[in-house]
Amino acid sequence: MSIDTLKICRVEIDTYHENVAYLNRECSIYRVEGFQALSKIEVKVNGTRLLAVLNVVDDNSIVQPGEMGLSQQAFKHLNVAEGTLVTVDHAEPPKSMDAVRRKINGERLSQSDFDAISNDIAETRYSKMEMAAFLVATGQNNLDRDELLYLTRSMLQSGERMNWHEPLVADKHCIGGIPGNRTSMLVVPIVAAHGMLIPKTSSRAITSPSGTADTMEVLSKVNLTPEQMSEIVRQERGCLVWGGTAKLAPVDDMLISVERPLGIDSQGQMVASILSKKLAAGSTHLIIDIPVGPTAKVRHMRQALALRKLFEFVGDRLNIHLEVMITDGRQPIGLGIGPILEARDVMQVLNNNPNAPADLRQKSLQLAGRIIEFDPDVRGGQGYAIARDILESGRACAKMNNIIKAQGGKDIDLQPGKLCYPVCADRDGVVTRIDNFQTAKIARIAGAPMDKKAGIDLFKKLGNEVTKGEPLFQIHAEFPADFKFATKLAQQNSGYSIGDSEQVLQPLIAF
Amino acid sequence: MSIDTLKICRVEIDTYHENVAYLNRECSIYRVEGFQALSKIEVKVNGTRLLAVLNVVDDNSIVQPGEMGLSQQAFKHLNVAEGTLVTVDHAEPPKSMDAVRRKINGERLSQSDFDAISNDIAETRYSKMEMAAFLVATGQNNLDRDELLYLTRSMLQSGERMNWHEPLVADKHCIGGIPGNRTSMLVVPIVAAHGMLIPKTSSRAITSPSGTADTMEVLSKVNLTPEQMSEIVRQERGCLVWGGTAKLAPVDDMLISVERPLGIDSQGQMVASILSKKLAAGSTHLIIDIPVGPTAKVRHMRQALALRKLFEFVGDRLNIHLEVMITDGRQPIGLGIGPILEARDVMQVLNNNPNAPADLRQKSLQLAGRIIEFDPDVRGGQGYAIARDILESGRACAKMNNIIKAQGGKDIDLQPGKLCYPVCADRDGVVTRIDNFQTAKIARIAGAPMDKKAGIDLFKKLGNEVTKGEPLFQIHAEFPADFKFATKLAQQNSGYSIGDSEQVLQPLIAF
């Protein structure tokens, strides 16, 4: 509560999402205020304020007494010149933590509670542990569906919202968990070739071997400004870019940065995350893909149905036209897993190559068909045939080439990593199971997605016959250390089960 | 997973409980491994390993490429010389987070789950956000009493355990929340004068205006090594020291460091925290003081009874002889709030000064009496009379003086802060309520406990008659800024209610 001033200086330390302030231990303000290392402080200048974690420094070459050092991120956020005088104070805990504590105690929260929480998170008033407390308190079945609606609405309102000035803005989203599942790269050119607007933003891989943005990056740039994206969408009706540059639903990103390392996710938070992002992106019509299978994110039909109802409940109340497709999540989609191998599969389907993976083609046509049926001029049931016609006629491929070119197309090199190791069947039989987690893990350890050429190439899928010693899949890598670890992991557990034909894992539903 | 080596160097930054490692962005290992700022890394040398949060540095004067900088705490923990070669790797998330996720999903955990969690926390494998997830998942009524027993046992086993080599080691603990409540400083000399062993460790204030360790520090040192403490206890049968130097139940301290800033606490965690600490301190016989009142931690009798049962259930199974006393928590105990003012009250009681606060004397005699009855040679019901006799005869005062001397007694100065402000009654009537929170807050803002002379001195207690303009209490402070804020806070809300005699808050139970 003192009003002494300190001089701002930049400390060349990168602290990522966290603002860190450095104060010399000999600084008089440090002693008078009774600050403690790791306590949260508020730095104030000209009516703006920055919250930061305090580190105390005993080296005058880093910060001197009388200076307030800021990490690179904190310096950028405060946005004042070095030498500017600032005041510093203890930061008050965020007021909305009261609501979080009420939730921990089992109470139901209101729209204004969620708004206050989202606001405080957006203003970086929450520490990571406070976000963790919020996520656990609202996880599992701790939110009823009205609360979920409030949460989604408050997350949506925390950031900017795009407006495409068209009545129908199509989008698709898969809840994830299935390696190789690059349907967006087929759905976008098909739907855009039909003339519908589909400005697709995708994520990079966080725990998977490749995200759509990682795979698309093999073919073109994906890191475009919102202005570049608008320009391309106006021209081509579609795009395939990374969603990280726009400030859409920033609270979602901040919660995800805690959720991922904790390995917690709940259906409610997934629904709020996806719908707040899609609404912020200006989508009006959305297909959600929920793969179901024993090694998918959703393992039982009853779970998939409950999730579908949640999406429908929230989507209907936030005015997005939303349809859910429950799909076959028993095994990876396509043959390649990893950016270059997946890009190869996509290009083969677009080129109508007879070797193209049939499952990737089929699923993409189904999704594209459903989106095309959002078009009021298309008769119900005709979407699939229209999508297939666009693909077979080469119009999807031409559209994709235009999008690639508009996004700054690269010299395309689809050669996977030159270090190869085939993983072979240990008996005669048929493939009865393929573990999504294990195949993803092997591809990731081989270096995907950082190393675009790394990954695995599947030769056999569920139900295929194999003979002892025949390759099931091949590992590709560029770096010897990665190659060694991936090979070792595959030797311990290939993710494949070989058995008799009657043991083949059956779909949970006729897809 | 690389095995490149880096040279350790110490970075003079104090990061308190958190280990931070600094890596130059130009360091080859940073690029190859795909590290990210704020990711958790594992530093390994000679079979020992350290987990640290990574900060990336762009200033060669802090760390150079090829060096691994460690914050002061991290450097101390790793305990190797500067220049030692280490390897570095991505840290795996703690295995026991699986159990935390199962708890979040509503499952019941086993002893081995809690053991694994406590172990991982003790080895600093948990980040603050992971600890927050654990605390929220196990908070409220999410642990049944068997799980609470498992948690307590695992926390106890996480650290060292003292052994006094005597069959009866007495202790007392108050769950807190009542300002001025310094009974330990009376109970210890009385019980030790009776000849029973009572090696009392206390905490410093975290959110209150003074802890027993802060108040005792007015009279003597409290920051003693375990060896010094043993020596004093052998000689005097009792001591009053700060508990922070021994490594007792370290998991408890780590969880508290997350619990406090989050402002969450549950009855279960309180029981596990107190009993693990007391068992680790070697106590065999324990009195727990649970004050009940509308502004106490426990507000209803049913809550106090439920808490008592929890203490009894866990204590009985961990072989500690435990008794719970539910006490009057309607208002502060004694007259002074803040280290020096509380020390004054304690010394007045010990000196049998007729102005000594009667409630502090009475409550301390009751607690001491119950502890004295743990002595097999004392007849049931005689404890109180024995305690009173020890106090009135001056033996308690003599014992306290010996303990103070043994602990390196100071020149005692009981003069409170010279800046004074009397807060006066705004009407005639009687004191009907005193808010524990508000009085504690005013004393704290006035500077307690950092400033030993700061605090408030109560002139009126519940039921006392007052006339308009008569002082209710006086604020003491040493520093003008603190004084100003405390005065302003008291003007807004003094914490006192004045009304008619029939409105006086009645005790929830006949104490």
For A201-222, the pLDDT digits (tens) are 998 887 789 999 999 999 999 9
> Which member of B37, B62, B72 has the closest CB to residue A62?
B62
pLDDT of residue A32: 57
A293-311 per-residue burial string, b: 16 or more CB within 10 A, e: under 16: bebbbbeeeeebeebbebb
Among chain B residues, the shortest Cα distance to A481 is held by B2
pLDDT of residue A35: 64
Q: Starting from the edge strand earliest in sequence, which strands make up the sheet with B496-499, in order?
A: B465-466, B429-434, B496-499
Q: For chains A and B, what is the number of CB pairs under 8 angstroms? A: 134
Per DSSP, helices labelled H in B351-456 are: 358-372, 383-392, 395-406, 436-445
The count of other CB atoms within 10 Å of the CB of residue A260 is 12
Sorted by sequence, the CB contacts under 8 Å of residue A155 that are 6+ apart come out as A118, A249, A251, A252, A272, A273, A276
Contact present, A284 and A320 (Cβ < 8 Å): yes
Task: Decide if B262 and A129 are in contact by the 8 Å CB cutoff.
Answer: yes
**What is the pLDDT confidence band of residue A2, given thresholds at 50, 70 and 90?**
very low
Task: Decide if B137 and A140 are in contact by the 8 Å CB cutoff.
Answer: no
* Whether the predicted pLDDT of A297 surpasses 70: yes
Contact list, A59 vs chain B (CB under 8 Å): 11-13
Cis peptide before B189 (omega within 30 of 0): no
* Whether the predicted pLDDT of B2 surpasses 70: no
> Which member of B12, B127, B136 has the closest CB to residue A104?
B136
* Whether the predicted pLDDT of B354 surpasses 80: yes
CA-closest candidate to residue B496, choices B415, B408, B436, B420: B436
The tokens describing A309, both together, are 């109802």
Best to test chain A binding among B9, B12, B71 (most A CBs inside 10 Å): B12
Read off the pTM. Answer: 0.83
* Whether the predicted pLDDT of A140 surpasses 80: no
Task: Decide if A56 and B14 are in contact by the 8 Å CB cutoff.
Answer: yes
Distance of CA B42 to the CA centre of its chain: 31
Task: Specify whether the backbone of B287 is left (phi greater than 0), alpha (psi in -120 to 50) or beta.
Answer: beta
Contact list, A38 vs chain B (CB under 8 Å): 15-18
CATH 2.40.40.20 residue spans of chain B:
5-90
CA distance A442 to A439: 5
Known active-site residue A14: no
* Cα R_g (chain B), whole angstroms: 25
pLDDT of residue B32: 57
Among chain A residues, the shortest Cα distance to B127 is held by A129
Distance of CA A321 to the CA centre of its chain: 22
CATH 3.90.1170.30 residue spans of chain A:
419-503
E-strand stretches of B294-383: 321-328, 336-337
Q: Return the CATH architecture of domain A419-503.
A: Alpha-Beta Complex (3.90)
Best to test chain B binding among A2, A4, A13 (most B CBs inside 10 Å): A13
**What is the pLDDT confidence band of residue B511, given thresholds at 50, 70 and 90?**
low
CATH 1.20.970.10 residue spans of chain A:
97-156
Task: Decide if A133 and B132 are in contact by the 8 Å CB cutoff.
Answer: yes
Task: Decide if B62 and A93 are in contact by the 8 Å CB cutoff.
Answer: no
Among chain A residues, the shortest Cα distance to B62 is held by A62
**Cα-flanking dihedrals φ and ψ of residue B80, to 5°?**
-130, 165
Contact list, B135 vs chain A (CB under 8 Å): 133
> Which member of B106, B139, B450 has the closest CB to residue A104?
B139
**What is the pLDDT confidence band of residue A306, given thresholds at 50, 70 and 90?**
very high
Contact present, B486 and B448 (Cβ < 8 Å): no
Among the options B89, B146, B253, B265, which is catalytic? B265
Q: Which helix H or strand E contains A184, and what residues bound it? A: helix A184-193
Fold topology of A97-156: 1.20.970
CA distance B156 to B149: 11
Task: Decide if A72 and B57 are in contact by the 8 Å CB cutoff.
Answer: no
pLDDT of residue B35: 64
Among chain B residues, the shortest Cα distance to A141 is held by B105
Task: Decide if A139 and B2 are in contact by the 8 Å CB cutoff.
Answer: no
Task: Decide if A37 and B16 are in contact by the 8 Å CB cutoff.
Answer: yes
Task: Decide if B132 and A129 are in contact by the 8 Å CB cutoff.
Answer: yes
Contact list, A51 vs chain B (CB under 8 Å): none
**What is the pLDDT confidence band of residue A33, given thresholds at 50, 70 and 90?**
low
Domain covering A5-90 in this structure, CATH number: 2.40.40.20
Q: Would you mind telling me the total number of residues written for chain B in this entry?
A: 511
CA distance B23 to B31: 11
Between the alpha carbon of residue A318 and those of residues A25, A101, A325, A332, the distances in Å are 52, 27, 20, 33
Best to test chain A binding among B75, B101, B262 (most A CBs inside 10 Å): B262
Q: Would you mind telling me the total number of residues written for chain A in this entry?
A: 511
CA distance B477 to B420: 7
Domain A170-247+256-406 falls under CATH 3.40.50.1100: no
